Structure 1
């Protein structure tokens, strides 16, 4: 006798199908209750390779605490960072700008792969800050950014010093103004603890810009690194991301064209880094906002420079914090009609509503000048164009007395050989020092030139020698410098064909960058030109083949429609 054996099966619900996923999360501490809460990521850029980020592990767990107390199920994950200051003047600087896009990619990857509902990103150095914002804009999940905070100024002989003092000290030593012991003392006192470089350099510039964008909590951009205020910023950011989830406020609700105009306005008023142009365009690209060099020029003409901050001024970010902070400056700009007050922010309120509760600048402070008596009537970041830079170039003119310079070119194909020429006395007042094949593709990686610009300033040549490059400059750079020249030399831009002795003109008033060459002379020089070979393996090889022009933000995911169609035929 046989029996009819039947296998009993269950219909598997989506909840039951997720049992293996939950099993993995139980191993990292989740309970049944946690599975009913939104999963909130805390993207930490903690690392021991730089003082900018060495304290961020503690800050990440403060954000986690805030998110948990608000009702979320938070998880901390890390991404990489590199130190611009440590890699400056070395081959390592070629990895700096590529790290921005790598950071954005890595945060996107973790948030996407783990199906997180929202996240807080915490950054403290030049490239991880825009990298965090690019990921936030791409993913468009409820999220916000927290700045790790500025470093305290170093002290030497009763004066404030910082990392730029060390770079300029090399030039002073070469000139004979200080001895080896004096240079060693600067080195030992420049960086007294955790936090990002103290002047209105790239990190503090981007922190200010991100607050102006509405993507960080009010007041958080100027709170110093090693303070209870900064730890509270992070705790409150964890709570804030939960509120953003409740209200379904997403980054692209905040990152509008008007928000970017607010960010540019604040950067111009504070005398921020040239890198802000590159990074704001990259963030706008990630948010699908149409932003161009023309927008920077348009706003530069109407926003005065009012902040006496390093590198061209006297004070550092901690001084601004003590005077009322970035919020107080924004409040002043809003009253003058220079900001869009109706822009939404991560508080759920508008910029104007946030600033109504903000303090005014303190009486007697000396850092911020009145709008009616500014340091300069126009913003200090100027976009130049001409036959040497048809797609644009960027100059920072804060603190400069020189508005026009014409001189003979001294041309170098890398920073190292140019630095040797400066130190050996080959570069003289009146010269135009040209460093090419340092662009996004040609570097590869568009390295910064703080080392050589600092040496020029230290040798007393900061305004008598012009420095031009298709690479970048640090936010700590000042002097007669022009970077981001586009198209770059590697792709056959005009800078590739400059020769020693060619007369070059830089004019910040007419916004001109030109060389005294005719089109026919350019064409003649192009005939036998071939670009230098690029790396064939590794991260820089991939970057060189993906990266866009600097005038588009040097992003790695800008794809021309025609190129996509052409590739699809292969």
Structure 2
């Protein structure tokens, strides 16, 4: 059997050409492929579809449209489902330890399948929070022609009754706190829980999934305009087919590879769109991890620099008023990207997967509407929607979403808890006071392990009417849906001997998130902190086995992206 393709050009020649590959061809024939199909470039179609979350519910259906486009563009698609862990189903219990870990599992799965089967390209579709960075990390690690498409957000629900206001899942979380505080009924909570997620798709606000969807466009790895199309809209079918055909042009031609696209400029563009939209703090964990796959040192300090200089121009929940659906109706993420570019916040010469520059891709993007998205010259705030704080309590930095905050300064006594469970019980029973700084430690990447999210606790505080009256500090994470004076990702984490490990009840913590300060400190001298650290007893915690053990042994600090390998993988071509 001969092939018109150059075996040096397409990696799949390794598995399909020559006498020695007759058995391999028998497997391909058994998949229903004829000789023409076998001779084409072979493309891995990775998706996280399944029934573990509404985010993932219709991704397999979307993947079928991508496969149609790949075949029409001259390729042979291979559907490759990968694991997903739902943040919604794992929230506020031990299962949340597996959420961030699933990011690594997804990236590893993409690498294993792509390198094992010698795929010539990658089409990736994800929608739940860790799906998006995990798939993009896998694309950059493998460095073959690739495209990513966010599976889209859910439509908002509506509260039964005359007000008919838009709902999303965060409203339900916060109503739990209201029930515990006696300001809402169980019947109201039940009605809200049934109404808040009416369709398939990612949570509807500018939470982690939708933030990372915009990031995929800003990085140049996704088609402009793709991330904000709601998951259930018919427009997603032609979107998938177009993206697949563009991928095949990249496979057949000389378009840039993921590591040509994910450059420092592209990473700065991604940080800019996160800051401009008041996006998820988790992006500051995921962008260094994506950079790591490209061999670029891009840590929390680099993220902080872009956050500080980029204006907040999009009024999106949880800090603002509007949802992903509203961004779609005014023209999609391209509106935000073009506005940032025209005001000098975005590098227009960065490349995209099409081979065109970002400026070329944004040429037809719509102007801001002035309501959902403002002109960059008339921002909501001039210093962005997120901030990195540093000081003697968090020398490696900590993250705060400032979008929508009423106060940026807080000083109060620490109320220290050694786990999420301890803090959850205390908050449910109101064992804290206004003005407290609630501290939750031993929840970092290594100490947890898995760096759990604290949305359940922050939502309870808001439901109790205390969201603006206390601060919260943790070496764990926060959901993209979190709001309030909630500072996470504190580094070094307690398990690595960070100062948070020796904080005591009553220690005074001072927070100043104003642009000219960006500080978090405990009112102790350097000598007092050092003495406490020298005497601290290491928290042995629970002896984990299996996946948690492997993760704890390999994970790096949060300010480096909580990555688990040395980065910049080289994949040499096999000789046929």
Q: TM-score, normalised by structure 1?
A: 0.94
The corresponding residue for 2:46 is: 43
1:454 corresponds, among 448, 459, 463, to 459
1:524-543 → structure 2 map (5 Å cutoff): 524-526=531-533, 527-543=535-551
Q: Could you list the runs of 4 or more consecutive aligned residues of structure 1 that deviate by over 6 angstroms after TM superposition?
A: none
The corresponding residue for 1:490 is: 495
1:481-540: CA deviations, max 9, x gaps? 100001101121110100000000111121111111223322332314123235342111
Aligned residues: 546
Tell me, yes or no, if structure 1 residue 122 matches structure 2 residue 125.
yes
The corresponding residue for 1:386 is: 391
1:241-281: CA deviations, max 9, x gaps? 11111223211111111011111111111110000000011
CA distance in 2, matches of 1:378, 1:398: 10
Q: Offset at 1:29?
A: 1.2
1:541-552 → structure 2 map (5 Å cutoff): 541-552=549-560
Query: Does structure 2 conserve the Cα–Cα contact (< 8 Å) formed by 1:146 and 1:216?
Result: yes
Instruction: In structure 1, list runs of 5 or more residues that go unmatched.
Output: 1-12, 561-570
1:200 corresponds, among 199, 203, 206, to 206
CA distance in 1, matches of 2:104, 2:149: 18
1:45-444 → structure 2 map (5 Å cutoff): 45-156=48-159, 157=161, 158-248=164-254, 249-362=256-369, 366-444=371-449
2:522 corresponds, among 499, 503, 515, to 515
CA distance in 2, matches of 1:428, 1:32: 72
CA distance in 2, matches of 1:51, 1:355: 31
Query: Does structure 2 conserve the Cα–Cα contact (< 8 Å) formed by 1:492 and 1:531?
Result: no
CA distance in 1, matches of 2:346, 2:454: 32
CA distance in 2, matches of 1:333, 1:184: 41
Secondary structure of the 2:538 match is coil
1:497-508 → structure 2 map (5 Å cutoff): 497-508=502-513
CA distance in 1, matches of 2:311, 2:406: 16
Larger Rg: 1
Query: Does structure 2 conserve the Cα–Cα contact (< 8 Å) formed by 1:211 and 1:217?
Result: yes
Q: Offset at 1:559?
A: 8.1
Instruction: In structure 2, list runs of 5 or more residues that go unmatched.
Output: 1-15, 569-576
CA distance in 2, matches of 1:295, 1:233: 33
Query: Does structure 1 conserve the Cα–Cα contact (< 8 Å) formed by 2:502 and 2:536?
Result: no
CA distance in 1, matches of 2:413, 2:366: 51
Q: Offset at 1:423?
A: 1.9
Query: Does structure 2 conserve the Cα–Cα contact (< 8 Å) formed by 1:394 and 1:482?
Result: yes
Q: Offset at 1:329?
A: 1.4
Q: TM-score, normalised by structure 2?
A: 0.93
The corresponding residue for 2:482 is: 477
